[in-house]
Amino acid sequence: MTDHPTAAPADDAVGRVTDLLAGVDRLGVAFSGGVDSSVLLALAVRILGPGRVVAILGVSPSLAADEREGAHTVARHIGVPVVEISTHEGEVAAYQANGPDRCFHCKHELFTRIDDEVVAAHGLDAVAYGENADDARRPDRPGSRAATDHRVLRPLADAGLDKAAVRHLAHAFGLPSADKPAAPCLASRIPHFTPVTREKLAQIEAAESALRRLGLGDLRVRHHGDVARVELPADDLVRAVTTLREDIHAAVVAAGFRFAALDLATGIQSGAFTLPLVAATHA
């Protein structure tokens, strides 16, 4: 049997994470409903039992309403209660300034609120979040520094579970999020050094929600002032410029933009705004 994470059976992954959670009696999982945190939550339940695990969902204007609802659906499937906490990263000047370290300030706010409001109230021994082994190697993940500062565990990454392995486990566990596209926070759609505001986040959420109602699944609406730059997978481009062209334009304008632009060059790119700045810094 190969020990490569993508080929490891579910019980092997459980064994690795069990070793990493040795000594933990009650665990809080920073939970978004995405595939990474869903797999971490499911693994924790298998190891500790549902009565000793709490899913913690940070709620703010940067979390889309459908993402919030989806997180509750996944947690119910796993059998774990969700504790919602309000986070106020939008009031932090460094977050509003939207530099490449924006995610640090967001995660710092989340983990601070968890420390202050959840750990003692639920008798938690530790808090963990769903960083995987691929994310741990990326230079555009300043949120991981906040996790280190708050001594938050990262069992998936430490167990060597990469994105492919996490997807494999999500299917093995029958999770509703197994095929869910990555859904970073709404603030990631705003170019760095352009201020993050509640109004921009609401525009982005409204546009993306409307486009999903048109049957477009994986997508991003990048906020460029009056222009919404829509990123879609290559398979959706043809219908976007033919049968859906007028509907896409109407949806974007209804969300408060003046113009709709379709990105033909890159499609959907994780870290589209952050990676070029990080690469330049490390060049």
Active site residues: 185
3-class secondary structure per residue, 14-38: HHHHHHHCCCCCCEEEECCCCHHHH
**Are 260 and 248 a contacting pair, CB within 8 Å?**
yes
Question: How does 197-210 read in b/e, with b if 16+ C-beta sit within 10 Å?
Answer: beebbebbbbbbeb
Longest CA–CA span in the chain (Å) reads 58
**Bridge partners for 220 per DSSP:** 231
Residue with the two structure tokens 């579970």: 161
Using CA atoms, how far residue 165 sits from 5, 25, 55, 175, 271, in Å, is 5, 26, 22, 14, 21
CA pair distance 192, 97, nearest whole angstrom: 8
Report the Cα–Cα distance between both ends of the chain, in Å, rounded.
40
Q: Classify burial at 157, counting beta carbons within 10 Å of its beta carbon; exposed 0-12, middle 13-18, buried 19 or more.
A: buried
- In 10 A of CB 255, how many CB atoms? 20
